[in-house]
Amino acid sequence: MSSSSDFQQDRHSFSGSPQKWTDFELPGDTLYYRFTSDMSNTEWGYKFTVTAGHLGRFQTGFEILKQMLSEERVIPHLPLAKIWEWQVGVACRQTGHQRLKAIHLLLKIVQCSSQGDCDLTLLKPLWHLFTHMENNSCHDTAKPGILLPLHRALAELFFVTENRVTELGSLQEYLLALNTEDHLHRCTAQ
């Protein structure tokens, strides 16, 4: 196995029983492998598992994207719609500080995007998380007025996003897209 098609870079060779195989990492996003049988036994072949990602790479990606979004001259050249889609997915999947950082990037994208750059309806899962937190904070009398960092980050994201869509004249479509019909009926009844 190697990270190059000529099997010269980051080469790892294995032979024999599974106990001789060890875990290893390859840089990049492509793995080249070659299997050669010596016909010495009747085993079925080989099996390996490839796992993407590496501890610490989230922070690197976050810092690079944060810097790119801070450069006004770079923003017009970025595929903001695709980055937005990826970041919403990251914010939905991550937890803890990584989720907060993903939400921070979403906020930067909303602030620097123009009309149509971002599909704001993708925020629906985060909106449900936020409304769930809002409903539970109303019932938490032990710490009135204190919001958790995630709650604050989501509140800021949705506040800025709502202001942005109001400027663009699409507030009604945005609110309809984030809410379920059942939720809208409850709000109307209240």
Q: How far apart are CA 143 and CA 62, in angstroms?
A: 32
Question: Do the beta carbons of residue 10 and residue 27 sit within 8 Å?
Answer: yes
For position 147, what pLDDT does the model report?
61
Residue 2 pairs in a beta bridge with 32
How many Å apart are CA 87 and CA 131, to the nearest integer?
Answer: 20
Q: What percent of the chain shows pLDDT beyond 90?
A: 26
- Gyration radius of the chain's alpha carbons: 24
Give 85's pLDDT tier (boundaries 50, 70, 90). Answer: very high
Beta carbons of 105 and 153 less than 8 angstroms apart? no
Distances from the Cα of 131 to the Cα of 13, 99, 169, angstroms? 53, 17, 23
**Mean pLDDT of the residues in the chain:** 82
Summarize pLDDT for 162-178 with one digit per residue, the tens: 998 888 888 888 888 88
Amino acid in position 107: L
User: For the whole prediction, is pTM greater than 0.85?
Assistant: no
pLDDT band (50, 70, 90) for residue 101: very high
pLDDT at position 88 = 93
Under the banding of pLDDT at 50, 70 and 90, the label for residue 14 is confident
| pLDDT value at residue 152 | 92
Is residue 3 within 8 A of residue 10, CB to CB? The reply is yes
Confidence (pLDDT) at 140: 52
